[in-house]
Structures are given as structure tokens and as C-alpha cells.
């Protein structure tokens, strides 16, 4: 999963990022609200950890802006303020959770896990994986903030791979789940469509998501 950390304290930012990376998260870091907006408007994230009191644009303003733009990524606020009014304002603005500084990293990690799990359970129509986001209601695919146009069949294969991310799926599994028994298909049809997908999903971007497992099938992994 991909997390954005927005914290102007250099040492704390580095500590959070390093520990999240060790836990297996893909992490991007920035130090002010304007940079946070730039990241959030051009890439897809599974979650955001953000200090409220950051330069250029405070965390509350960043949250209100992305919500107005329809970006529904879950946000966990960090704050030095423990007053109930400030906490309520943050939650009312659309934050998923908050933590008051100083805090233990183990608690931050636990809250992050709960936040991500809750969002994915409550919003199954949005599938997030790394820089890839799929809106299953509207069949809309976005990677690194760029909308990717897919055919119906390409979309179906991609959604199947995302739902089975990090595990190997065989060509036979793809065929059984994507094509109907009435379809007249060639033996290499899966490879052909995977090649089409790679041209759109992988080739224009730095990191490849679709990996070939020789003699078996494919795995979506970042």
C-alpha cells in the first residue's frame, strides 16, 4: 500500500517514513501543505498521515481542498493540540482519525491499519494498489493521477489481477473468469490482452506492475 507522510518536522518525518517502509509500505514524504496537494492531485494513495500545523497550507485546508476535488483518500491527522474543539474540527472536515503528539509508533501503526482496513471494507467499489486506482462502479482506471482508457476486456482482466494482487494467477484462471464458454478464443488470447494492458498500464510509467511468471501466468505486484 502507498502512504503519503506530510510532516514539517524533518526528524519525525524521516522516522515515520523509515518505520513504515520497514513495515512494507510504499512511502512518499513531503514537508508542507502545497507539496501535499501536488502529490495528492497527481498520484493515488491508500492513506495519508498529515500534521495539521504545516507551512504554506495547513492540514485542515489541504483536507478540505482534496475533499472538494473528490479525492477520498483516508487521512490520519497528527496534532500537537489536544483540545476537543480542534479534534472535532478535523474529524468534521473529513479526517478518518487523529493522534496527539508525542505518540508511540506502535499506536500510529495500529491506527493506520484500522483506518485502511475500514476504508477498504466500506468502499469496495474503489480498488487501490500502489499508484493504481480502479473505480469498479464506473470502470474508471487511474495510475499516478493519469486516467487510463481500457477496453471492456482489458478492464476485466486488470480488475481480476488487482483483486488477486501479489499472488500468481494462471492463464486458465484468467480465461475461466473473463471469457464465457460461448467465446471463440485462441490459446494465446490471454497473452495478447496482457500485452495490450502493459502498453497502457506499465509502459508509460516508471514501475511495472504486471509480471510474467514463466510457464505459469501473471502476478500484479509493486
What DSSP line would sit under the chain, residue for residue?
Answer: -EEEEE-S-HHHHHHHHHHHHHTT-EEEEESSHHHHHHHHHHS--SEEEEESS-SSS-HHHHHHHHHHTT----EEEEES---HHHHHHHHHTT-SEEEESS--HHHHHHHHHHHHHHHHHH-TTEEEETTEEEETTTTEEEETTEEE---HHHHHHHHHHHHTTTS-EEHHHHHHHHS-TT----TTHHHHHHHHHHHHHTTTSSS--EEEETTTEEEE--
pLDDT for 182? 46
Written as tens digits, the pLDDT of the chain (222 aa) is 899 999 999 999 999 999 999 999 999 999 999 999 999 988 888 899 999 999 999 999 999 888 877 777 889 998 876 656 667 777 777 788 888 888 899 999 998 988 887 655 445 678 888 888 898 877 889 998 899 998 888 998 999 898 888 888 888 888 878 765 445 555 677 888 899 999 999 999 988 999 998 888 899 987
Instruction: Tell me whether domains 2-123 and 127-220 share a fold.
Output: no
Q: Residue ranges per domain, the chain?
A: 2-123, 127-220
Task: Tell me the whole-structure pTM to 2 decimals.
Answer: 0.56
The CATH number of domain 2-123 is 3.40.50.2300: yes
The CATH number of domain 127-220 is 3.40.50.300: no
Amino acid at each position: 500500500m502507498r502512504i503519503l507522510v506530510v510532516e514539517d518536522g524533518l526528524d519525525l518525518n524521516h522516522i515515520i517514513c523509515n518505520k513504515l517502509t520497514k513495515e512494507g509500505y510504499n512511502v512518499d514524504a513531503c514537508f508542507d501543505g502545497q507539496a501535499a496537494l501536488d502529490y495528492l492531485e497527481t498520484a493515488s494513495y491508500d492513506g495519508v498521515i498529515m500534521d495539521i500545523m504545516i507551512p504554506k497550507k495547513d492540514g485542515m485546508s489541504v483536507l478540505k481542498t482534496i475533499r472538494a476535488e473528490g479525492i477520498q483518500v483516508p487521512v490520519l491527522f497528527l496534532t500537537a493540540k489536544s483540545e476537543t474543539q480542534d479534534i472535532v474540527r478535523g474529524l468534521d472536515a473529513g479526517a478518518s482519525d487523529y493522534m496527539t503528539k508525542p505518540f508511540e509508533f506502535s499506536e500510529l501503526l495500529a491506527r493506520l491499519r484500522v483506518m485502511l482496513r475500514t476504508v477498504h471494507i466500506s468502499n469496495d467499489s474503489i480498488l487501490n494498489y500502489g499508484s493504481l486506482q480502479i473505480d469498479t462502479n464506473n470502470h474508471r482506471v487511474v495510475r499516478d493521477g493519469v486516467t487510463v482508457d481500457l477496453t471492456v476486456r482489458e478492464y476485466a482482466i486488470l480488475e481480476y489481477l488487482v483483486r488477486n494482487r501479489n499472488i500468481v494467477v494462471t492463464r486458465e484462471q484468467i480465461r475461466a473468469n473473463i471469457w464465457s464458454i460461448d467465446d471463440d478464443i485462441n490459446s494465446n488470447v490471454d497473452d495478447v490482452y496482457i500485452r495490450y494492458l502493459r502498453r497502457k498500464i506499465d509502459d508509460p510509467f516508471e514501475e511495472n506492475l504486471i509480471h510474467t511468471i514463466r510457464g505459469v501466468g501473471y502476478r500484479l505486484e509493486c
